[in-house]
């Protein structure tokens, strides 16, 4: 978010536009615009300027609460929370501009997410991900994450010097600081030389542009001046890339922008679950995941509904002739 600029509109300005103008990310602007467009459609006549002065009453707070819960109350907690966070961010800006003295969302509460027992993606969902027209960097990252079952933070911290391309492995620093080895398969082995493109050192995964701020030399490519790709940016791209895959029933663009995609962590979760379903023993899974505790590993090795169905089909008695 950019710096706040005080605009003396007395509460009668085109406030959604004023707030959206300070957001630097086009993706954030697009997603927030959908929520604020819905707010304006509910509370402002089409031919009148949008004002917030009326929101400073208890009656208006009740109306905002009823409208918001009616529109998003039946949606997933993540969707409910995302729209509420958008509205509260706008309210905070309006308060900073002294256009609003109270919080009309004060009666709303964020919702806790229901525990998800199906976080591992199915084999068909993994195939659908890689069937997309992905950029080389993203295709390499997602393939490496799935084939190695490494944490995204571990892979994004890799330097080219850490790689042993001949033996399809690399040294990573695990959670807690231990140095360990990850191993990948053929698809990653084919992609990595193309991504590296002759570079001999520096971060493996880079941003699209040269760094605009001063960074440690270890996070800069000495050949291109580009910075190490951050976890936050990588996660944002993956979430956007997978929204349609994660929400096949949603067809409206505005609805899809508000929907939640998959997380990078699900690639690790899926790799471990699929390895367990394929018969990997506990020692192999511990080495694959980098865990030191079987208890920590247990939630990743829960058999998926897909695998359970295959098992049931395989053990069903043959029909009598």
Q: pLDDT tens digit string along 132-143? A: 999 999 999 999
In 3D space, the residue among 249, 287, 288 whose CA is nearest the CA of residue 270 turns out to be: 288
Neighbouring residues of 313: CB distance < 8 A, sequence distance ≥ 6 = none
In 3D space, the residue among 157, 50, 45, 26 whose CA is nearest the CA of residue 99 turns out to be: 50
- Give the end-to-end CA distance of the chain in Å, rounded to a whole number: 70
β partners of residue 172: 180
SS3 35: helix
Supply the pLDDT for residue 27.
63
pLDDT band at 46 (very low <50, low <70, confident <90, very high): low
SS3 18: helix
Q: What rounded mean pLDDT belongs to the chain?
A: 84
- In this structure, the number of other CB atoms found within 10 A of the CB of residue 87 comes to 22
Alpha carbon of 106 to those of 23, 39, 56: distances in Å?
23, 16, 11
- Which tokens belong to 115? 């525990």
Residue 78 has pLDDT above 90, yes or no: no
Classify the phi-psi angles of 10: left when phi > 0, otherwise alpha if psi is within -120 to 50, otherwise beta: left
Of 320 and 148, which is predicted with more confidence?
148
Q: Percent of the chain scored above 70 by pLDDT?
A: 87
Dump strand ranges (E) for 126-215. Answer: 163-164, 169-173, 179-183, 206-210
**Which of 67-81, 109-123, 149-163 bottoms out in mean pLDDT, i.e. has the lowest?**
109-123
- Which tokens belong to 233? 């940016």
Residue 157 has pLDDT above 80, yes or no: yes
- Average pLDDT in the 168-194 region? 94
Of 215 and 273, which is predicted with more confidence?
273
In 3D space, the residue among 59, 83, 58, 57 whose CA is nearest the CA of residue 70 turns out to be: 83
pLDDT, tens digit, 9 for 90 and up, residues 232-245: 999 999 999 999 99
**What is the spatial distance between Cα 174 and Cα 281, in angstroms, rounded to a whole number?**
21
Residue 131 has pLDDT above 50, yes or no: yes
Of 238 and 56, which is predicted with more confidence?
238
- Average pLDDT in the 34-59 region? 74
Asked if 60 and 86 touch (Cβ cutoff 8 Å), the reply is no
> Which residue has 């807690």 as its token pair?
176
Residue 11 has pLDDT above 50, yes or no: no
Burial 271-310 (b: 16+ CB within 10 A, else e): bbbbbbbeebeeeebbebbbbeeeeebeebbbebebbeee
**What is the spatial distance between Cα 265 and Cα 82, in angstroms, rounded to a whole number?**
20
Neighbouring residues of 47: CB distance < 8 A, sequence distance ≥ 6 = none
Asked if 301 and 119 touch (Cβ cutoff 8 Å), the reply is no
In 3D space, the residue among 277, 265, 263 whose CA is nearest the CA of residue 308 turns out to be: 277
**What is the spatial distance between Cα 220 and Cα 227, in angstroms, rounded to a whole number?**
4
pLDDT band at 114 (very low <50, low <70, confident <90, very high): low
Asked if 99 and 16 touch (Cβ cutoff 8 Å), the reply is no
Q: What are phi and psi of 62, to 5 degrees?
A: -65, -40
Residue 4 has pLDDT above 50, yes or no: no
- Which tokens belong to 38? 């819905």
pTM of the model: 0.64
Measured in residues, the chain has a length of 321
Please report how many Cα atoms fall inside a 13 Å half-sphere around the Cα of residue 102, on the Cβ side. Answer: 15
Supply the pLDDT for residue 189.
97
Domains of the chain, each with CATH number or no CATH = 15-96 (no CATH), 123-298 (1.10.443.10)
**Which of 208-212, 292-296, 308-312 bottoms out in mean pLDDT, i.e. has the lowest?**
308-312
- Which tokens belong to 258? 């508000």
Give 124-157 as a DSSP string.
Answer: HHHHHHHTS---HHHHHHHHHHHHH---HHHHHT
**What is the spatial distance between Cα 5 and Cα 97, in angstroms, rounded to a whole number?**
8
């Amino acid at each position: 978010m950019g710096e706040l600029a005080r605009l003396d509109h007395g509460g009668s300005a085109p406030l959604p536009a004023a707030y959206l103008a300070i957001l630097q990310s086009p993706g954030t602007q697009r997603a927030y615009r959908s929520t604020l467009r819905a707010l304006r459609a509910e509370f402002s006549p089409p031919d009148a300027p949008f004002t917030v002065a009326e929101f400073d009453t208890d009656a208006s707070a009740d109306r905002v609460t009823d409208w918001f819960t009616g529109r998003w109350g039946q949606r997933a907690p993540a969707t409910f929370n995302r729209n509420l966070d958008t509205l509260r961010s706008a309210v905070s800006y309006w308060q900073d501009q002294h256009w609003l003295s109270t919080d009309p969302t004060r009666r709303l509460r964020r919702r806790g997410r229901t525990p998800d027992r199906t976080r591992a993606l199915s084999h068909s969902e993994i195939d659908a991900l890689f069937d997309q027209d992905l950029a080389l960097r993203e295709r390499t990252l997602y393939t490496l994450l799935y084939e190695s079952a490494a944490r995204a933070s571990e892979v994004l911290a890799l330097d080219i010097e850490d790689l042993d391309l001949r033996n399809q492995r690399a040294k990573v620093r695990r959670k807690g600081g231990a140095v360990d080895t990850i191993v990948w398969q053929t698809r990653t082995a084919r992609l990595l030389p193309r991504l590296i493109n002759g570079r001999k050192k520096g971060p493996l995964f880079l941003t699209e542009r040269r760094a605009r701020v001063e960074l440690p030399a270890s996070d800069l490519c000495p050949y291109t001046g580009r910075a190490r790709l951050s976890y936050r940016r990588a996660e944002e791209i993956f979430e956007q890339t997978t929204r349609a895959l994660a929400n096949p029933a949603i067809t409206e663009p505005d609805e899809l922008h508000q929907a939640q995609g998959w997380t990078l962590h699900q690639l690790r979760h899926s790799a471990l679950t699929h390895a367990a379903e394929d018969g990997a023993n506990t020692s192999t899974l511990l080495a694959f995941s980098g865990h030191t505790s079987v208890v920590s590993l247990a939630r990743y090795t829960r058999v998926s509904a897909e695998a359970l169905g295959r098992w049931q089909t395989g053990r069903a008695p043959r029909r009598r002739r």
